Amino acid sequence: MNTRYWTDHFRRNARHRPEPDWQAPIHLQGPAMRKLVRSLQQFQLGDGGGPAYLIAWNHRRRLAADPAFKDLVDLWFTEEKEHSRLLGDALKRFGAPEIRSHWSFGLFCGVRKLAGVDFELQALLLTEIVSHVYYKMLRRHIDDEAVRGLCALIIRDEAGHIAFHRARLAAEAGRAGDRRGRFGEAMFRLRGLAAGTVLWVNHRAALRAAGATDGEFYRGIWSGMDGFLRGLRADRARARVGGGVKTCEELVAECA
Ligand SMILES: [Fe+2]
Ligand SMILES: [Fe+2]
């Protein structure tokens, strides 16, 4: 993996970030507003507001073995913390407090700690793919200029995170061979559907109140996983025949 590419990507992405218009008029009210606030509160906690770093029991060993990878993980989580800051400012705009805990996030963190860093990285990747769909649906359906501005920034960052994972997995397969094949892909999709369903259980009300549908969400996450797996397969095939590595810009555009 070309770590220099990715360091440059994160540094570039930290520039030109138009702040959402927090002072824009608020049109939302009633149940639609309350449901949106509950959804944003959970994302504020889960998207960089809780332990915004790897927490698996063996993560330190993995990072110590590869300092360049650790630097990228640091940059990745710096962006996750920024998501929490943006979501916290949206809550302030709506006069709502941040929350300190939620059952789904507690469960997610517990599993990540116990299951080890490889599982954790895959779980985080799947979370990025399904959250990317959530933010795109939020931007499409919620009638609030500041929320749309926040979504635009986070969608852009998450495309970079998904692309970063694709580059990481393609490079790992190049070294160790792709042992998991189609079975691994099927497991990936199953876990993604599970992660997506947990997200949808908690956030469906807010998006449905704004006009989104169940089909839209599930089509979105299926196409996100499908695009990721197809891209990764192509990257691995290219690596096997000694083809060049795609640039960050190309990968991020494919994952947008
Ligand atoms: Fe995020
Ligand atoms: Fe992310």
Q: How far is the CA of 214 from the centre of ligand 1 (A)?
A: 22
What CATH topology corresponds to 3-12+27-255? Ferritin (1.20.1260)
Q: How far is the CA of 158 from the centre of ligand 2 (A)?
A: 5
Q: How far is the CA of 241 from the centre of ligand 1 (A)?
A: 34
Tell whether pTM > 0.85: yes
Give the model's pLDDT for residue 174: 59
Give the model's pLDDT for residue 244: 73
Q: How far is the CA of 192 from the centre of ligand 2 (A)?
A: 15
CA pseudo-torsion sign 39, 43, 45, 46: positive
Residue-level pLDDT, tens digit, the chain, 256 residues: 788 889 999 999 999 999 999 999 999 999 999 999 999 999 999 998 888 999 999 999 999 999 999 999 999 999 999 999 999 999 999 999 999 999 999 999 999 999 999 999 999 999 999 999 999 999 999 999 999 999 999 999 999 999 999 999 988 865 554 556 888 899 999 999 999 999 999 999 999 999 999 999 999 999 999 999 999 999 888 888 877 778 888 888 888 8
- Residue 35 in tokens: 């449901």
- What ligand has the least distance to the C-alpha of 81? 1
Q: How far is the CA of 184 from the centre of ligand 1 (A)?
A: 25
Q: Is 167 exposed, middle or buried (0-12, 13-18, 19+ CB in 10 A)?
A: buried
Q: How far is the CA of 128 from the centre of ligand 2 (A)?
A: 5
- What ligand has the least distance to the C-alpha of 125? 2
User: Greatest CA span in the chain, whole angstroms?
Assistant: 58
Surrounding ion ligand 2 within 5 Å at CB are 128, 158, 161
Q: How far is the CA of 38 from the centre of ligand 1 (A)?
A: 17
Q: How far is the CA of 241 from the centre of ligand 2 (A)?
A: 31
- What ligand has the least distance to the C-alpha of 82? 1
Give the model's pLDDT for residue 72: 95
Q: String of b and e for 217-244 (b: at least 16 CB within 10 Å)?
A: beebbeebbebbbebbbebbeebeeeee
Number of DSSP helices (H) and strands (E) in the chain, helices first = 10, 0
Closest CA to 127 of 158, 99, 156, 152: 158
Give the model's pLDDT for residue 196: 96
Q: How far is the CA of 229 from the centre of ligand 1 (A)?
A: 20
Cα separation, 118 vs 74, whole angstroms: 17
Q: How far is the CA of 80 from the centre of ligand 2 (A)?
A: 6
Question: For the chain, what are the domain ranges?
Answer: 3-12+27-255
Q: How far is the CA of 161 from the centre of ligand 1 (A)?
A: 8
- What ligand has the least distance to the C-alpha of 44? 1
- What ligand has the least distance to the C-alpha of 134? 1
Q: How far is the CA of 180 from the centre of ligand 1 (A)?
A: 27
